[in-house]
C-alpha cells in the first residue's frame, strides 16, 4: 500500500513531463525552404500558392535556396514589392542558401533583384502571425485538405490539456501532504 501511494506523485510528474514536452514541440520554431518541396527559389514556383500552405510564426525561419549565378534575394518594402523595385531595399542576400529569421509579427516582402525575374513572379509575401493564430481566410481553399489532421491534433491537445489538469491536481495534493520544512 505504501509503495502504491508513493507511486502516485511519480506518475503525476511523469504525466506533467509529457505535457511539457508536447507543449514545447507545438511551440518549436520551424524552418521552411522557400518553394519546397515542389520547387525552390526559381522562376517556376507559384509563391502565393506556396505561402498558403504554411503558417509563419515569430521565431520561424525561411531559407532561400538557389544558384547565386541565376538569382538573388532582396527584402523590400510593400511598395517595392508592388512595383518589383529593389531600389530602396531593406536587405540583400546572394549566397544561394540565405536563411532569413522571421523575428516578429508582420508582413515581409522578398523578390529576386535580377532584371525581369520579379515581373515573372519571383516574389514572395510572408505574413508572420502570432503563435496560436490560424492562417487567414485566403487559405480557405487548400486548407480543406489540411483540416482533418488539424482537427485530430486539436482533439489530441484537448486530451493533453485534460491530462495536464489531472497531473496538476495530483501534484498539488502531493505538495499539500508534504511538510513545509
Ligand atoms: Cu531570379
Average pLDDT, the chain: 76
Tell how far the Cα of 85 is from the centroid of ligand 1, in angstroms: 13
- pLDDT score at 85: 97
Tell how far the Cα of 84 is from the centroid of ligand 1, in angstroms: 12
Given pLDDT bands bounded at 50, 70 and 90, which one contains residue 28? confident
Tell how far the Cα of 3 is from the centroid of ligand 1, in angstroms: 68
Tell how far the Cα of 66 is from the centroid of ligand 1, in angstroms: 9
Asked if the model's pLDDT at residue 61 lies above 70, the reply is yes
- 2-177: CATH architecture: Sandwich (2.60)
Which residue, among 95, 99, 115, 108, has the nearest Cα to 51 in the 3D structure?
108
Given pLDDT bands bounded at 50, 70 and 90, which one contains residue 177? very low
Average pLDDT over residues 34-57: 97
Average pLDDT over residues 126-131: 96
Name every residue whose Cβ is closer than 8 Å to that of residue 174 and which is 6 or more positions away in sequence.
Answer: 8, 9, 12
Tell how far the Cα of 46 is from the centroid of ligand 1, in angstroms: 13
Q: Which three cell numbers stand for residue 64?
A: 532561400
Q: How far apart are the first and last CA of the chain?
A: 25
Tell how far the Cα of 72 is from the centroid of ligand 1, in angstroms: 6
Lowest average pLDDT, out of 113-117, 161-165, 172-176, goes to: 172-176
Average pLDDT over residues 117-141: 79
Tell how far the Cα of 86 is from the centroid of ligand 1, in angstroms: 12
| Residues forming beta bridges with residue 33, ordered by sequence position | 63
Asked if the model's pLDDT at residue 20 lies above 90, the reply is no
pTM for the complete prediction? 0.61
d(CA 61, CA 40): 15
Strands 61-65 and 106-111: unpaired
Given pLDDT bands bounded at 50, 70 and 90, which one contains residue 66? very high
Neighbours of ion ligand 1 (CB under 5 A): 71, 112, 114, 117, 122
- pLDDT score at 132: 74
Average pLDDT over residues 87-99: 97
- pLDDT score at 167: 44
Q: Which residues of 97-121 are buried (b: 16+ CB within 10 A; e: fewer)?
A: ebebebeeeeebbbbbbeeebbeeb
Considering just the CA atoms, what is the radius of gyration of the chain in Å?
23
Average pLDDT over residues 88-95: 96
Tell how far the Cα of 148 is from the centroid of ligand 1, in angstroms: 37
Residue spans per domain, the chain: 2-177
Amino acid at each position: 500500500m505504501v509503495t502504491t501511494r508513493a507511486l502516485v506523485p511519480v506518475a503525476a510528474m511523469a504525466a506533467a513531463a509529457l505535457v511539457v514536452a508536447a507543449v514545447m514541440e507545438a511551440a518549436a520554431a520551424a524552418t521552411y525552404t522557400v518553394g519546397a518541396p515542389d520547387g525552390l527559389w526559381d522562376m517556376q514556383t507559384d509563391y502565393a500558392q506556396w505561402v498558403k500552405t504554411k503558417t509563419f510564426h515569430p521565431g520561424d525561419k525561411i531559407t532561400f535556396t538557389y544558384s547565386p549565378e541565376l538569382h538573388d534575394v532582396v527584402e523590400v518594402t510593400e511598395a517595392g514589392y508592388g512595383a518589383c523595385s529593389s531600389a530602396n531595399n531593406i536587405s540583400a542576400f546572394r549566397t544561394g542558401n540565405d536563411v532569413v529569421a522571421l523575428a516578429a509579427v508582420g508582413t515581409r516582402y522578398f523578390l529576386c533583384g535580377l532584371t525581369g525575374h520579379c515581373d515573372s513572379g519571383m516574389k514572395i509575401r510572408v505574413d508572420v502571425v502570432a503563435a496560436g493564430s490560424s492562417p487567414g481566410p485566403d487559405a480557405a481553399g487548400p486548407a480543406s485538405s489540411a483540416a482533418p489532421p488539424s482537427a485530430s491534433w486539436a482533439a489530441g491537445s484537448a486530451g493533453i490539456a485534460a491530462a495536464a489538469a489531472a497531473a496538476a491536481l495530483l501534484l498539488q495534493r502531493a505538495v499539500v501532504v508534504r511538510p513545509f520544512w
